[in-house]
A and B are shown apart, each in its own frame.
Chain A
Amino acid sequence: MKKYMLFSLLLFFAFSCTTYFPVVDTATTNISVSESVAGENPELLELLKPYKQELEADMSRVLAISDVEMIKNKPESNMTNFMADMLLEEGREYCKKNNLELPVVAYVNYGGIRSTLPKGEINVQKVFELMPFENTMALLKISGEKFRKMADIIAEREGDGVAGMKLGIKNKTVSSLLVGGEKLEAGKSYWIVTNDYVANGGDNMVMFTDPESFISTETSIRDIIIRHMENKTKRGQHISAQTDGRIFYE
């Protein structure tokens, strides 16, 4: 009797695979979120209102006047050059103030530049669109060998944002390289100013992760851009940028 029960129990488990309601049909549509489909939800607009008012008041403040429209492009562009030149200038200012060795090169990852700058008035909003991330300025001292690896990656990506160096690219490899007007020396060390994202190896910049020396300024790059623009305006200057052949294809 016991045996029989055990057998029927086993039989029960063997055949009691789960049952499901079957899918008899599917349909898929991707709907464009445009005005013709539906209006904005008034409840959400109500929730958003106080935040929006506060933000808009701050965002509309004009920081500087730009003589040109800045657009990023490869191998170089006025936009990438503006960002790298600005970072090199501000990085050097920081080092002077803190009695540190000055950086010779600035590196700005192409992907980190998120927008363009229009010709004319630049307000806080534009700077936020350009640099939405909370990245900070970082200074690192790397060997000539690692510097070369950085140049190799820039060449492979066919361009980036740089200042203080001149790079020729042929078939995605380095064909010529000058750092501060001089040939790169493997045995020498170089100070670079960049952002903490790539300094920590982001964008696969692994050669930055183990530097000889590292300074984290904890100063937001967006705040640096805003201050940089305000200072230009205070001095009665406009901002501008151009290409100058610092990265070129051979």
Chain B
Amino acid sequence: MSNRRKFIQQLAWGSAGFLAAQYPGSIYAKDNFVQIRILHTNDMHCHIEPFPESDSQNGGKGGMTRLSGIIEKIRMENPNTFLFDAGDMFQGTPYFNYYKGELVLKIMSKMGYDAGTIGNHEFDNGLEGIKEALPFVGFPILSGNYDFSDTILNGSFLTHKTFVKEGIKIGLYALGIELDGLVAKKNFQETRYLNPVKTAQKMELFLKEEKKCDLVICLSHLGLEYQEKKVSDRILASETRCTDLIIGGHTHTFLNDAIRTKNADGKPVIINQVGFGALLLGQIDFVFDRDKKIKMAVSSSRKNG
């Protein structure tokens, strides 16, 4: 399929004619544009089926079976689509109490997730609960700031992952929330919590410089923002330099649209979060121009790490 046709189809799906508006006419003649589409979820909490009709707020909505229907439709329209989850897959419906991590991870694997991360509720059945669920995961789980070296989960997770689609390289890393005070000590044991901002600065630089990624994405279970001075996606965005997108979770924040803000260098960074229970699907499109490679001196920003 030509890129031109893809574009027309994508526009038809409703991504708002944003390119047509910005590059009137000319865009359709060019084959050098690649559109990378990022779909994302967070805090699905085992809502495998739509919410029961009796639910006053969300009756008949959400659920992974229906979410998957939407994702399949989008994938048919744009093969350059990724699907990520920002944690708290576990806990929330009896499916978890009965089948623990097994069923939800089987379902998510079938949905074709490209990567996920660890939310605080993933610890609900302790480290053993995570270990027992791992055989059912068909996609990589990333964690940058939980150090499991001294636990039974040592070596179970990746710190980062890179993907290549149509010549565009995408780097992914992930951050989790502080467990102390949120998760019972017996459930996380000797898991060490590393500073998320420092981890992010290290990871993004590594992905940008060493791995030469065109796009850097963070899966975060830190939460969007807090009244008190607690690390959040907002703070993370303002203290990083190479991260283009922060896919958030934990605070169950329903955003009508993604937040566009500035990073430590004043460059654009997008933060998004889509509530909970598979009620919303986040969709972020990045359009790349493969005709003009640009130079970027990333090293200059290293001092602040």
Contacts and interface: CB of A to CB of B under 8 A. Distances in A.
The residue among B33, B34, B270, B295 with the most chain A CB atoms within 10 A of its own CB is B295
A20 interface: yes
B212 A18 contact: yes
Contacts of B190: none
Nearest to A34: B61
Contacts, number: 192
Contacts of A59: 94
A30 B93 contact: no
Interface string B80-120: 00000000000111111111000100110011000000000
Interface stretch (A44-52, A152-160, A172-180, A231-239): A44-52
Given A17-B298, A18-B296, A132-B92, A43 B110 contact: yes
> Which of the four size classes fits the interface of chain B?
35 or more
Interface of B: 14-16, 18-19, 22, 33-34, 48-50, 60-70, 72-73, 91-99, 103, 106-107, 110-111, 124-125, 167-168, 181-186, 208-209, 212-215, 244, 255-258, 260, 268, 270, 272, 274, 278-290, 292-299
Given A44-B68, A55-B98, A133-B91, A31 B298 contact: no
Nearest to B184: A200
A98 interface: no
Contacts of B18: 25, 27
Nearest to A48: B48
A201 interface: yes
A48 B65 contact: yes
A32 interface: yes
Contacts of A204: 181
Interface of A: 17-35, 37-41, 43-45, 47-48, 51-52, 54-55, 58-59, 125, 128-129, 132-134, 196-197, 200-202, 204, 222
B115 to A, nearest CB: 19
B70 A38 contact: yes
A23 B18 CA distance: 14
